[in-house]
Amino acid sequence: MELYLLRHGIAEDGLPGTPDSARRLTQEGRERVAAVLKLARHSGVNPSLILSSPYVRACQTAEIAAREFGYKEDVPQLKSLVPHGSPEAVWADIRDYADEPAILLAGHEPLMSHLAAYLLNAPSLRVDMKKSALLRIDFGVVGAVPYGTLRWMLVPKLA
């Protein structure tokens, strides 16, 4: 299984009285996400499933991914993909989709960098997941404990 971790794009600043979960992508954020995903598509990325955090900015990022990859299915939301979610909970959710050949997750920091380290079975690894970054980890087996292989990371400056 190929697993893609996609951090949401640049989002608007929080407004007083508005929950963090309601923050939307800025135009620049949308453009950077689209640029990274266009490069990924041209490199052969083709997710069979896209999953998103329920936060608005992650949902918007997942919508851009669906458009860029020609993905026509619904994008399920996983509560485990919220910013302070646990990597173990995300892995438990992903295991429900173990038959999918390529899954893209749209989420947030600090979860995405912690999730990458957890999936690579390298708890002390520090991963700098910039906004709009896309990281690929491959799995031969989707077992109780993840043992992934890092393949690559795309950042907006490369796109």
Place 59 in a pLDDT band, splitting at 50, 70 and 90. Answer: very high
In 3D space, the residue among 58, 50, 10, 47 whose CA is nearest the CA of residue 31 turns out to be 10
Q: What CATH number should be reported for the domain holding residue 103?
A: 3.40.50.1240
Tens digits of residue pLDDT in 130-141 = 999 999 999 999
Domain that holds residue 108: 2-158
Tell me, yes or no, if the pTM score tops 0.85.
Answer: yes
Count of structural domains within the chain = 1
Q: What is the pLDDT of residues 79-136, one digit of tens each?
A: 999 999 999 999 999 999 999 999 999 999 999 999 999 999 999 999 999 999 999 9
**Mind listing the pLDDT tens digit for each residue in 1-21?**
999 999 999 999 988 899 999
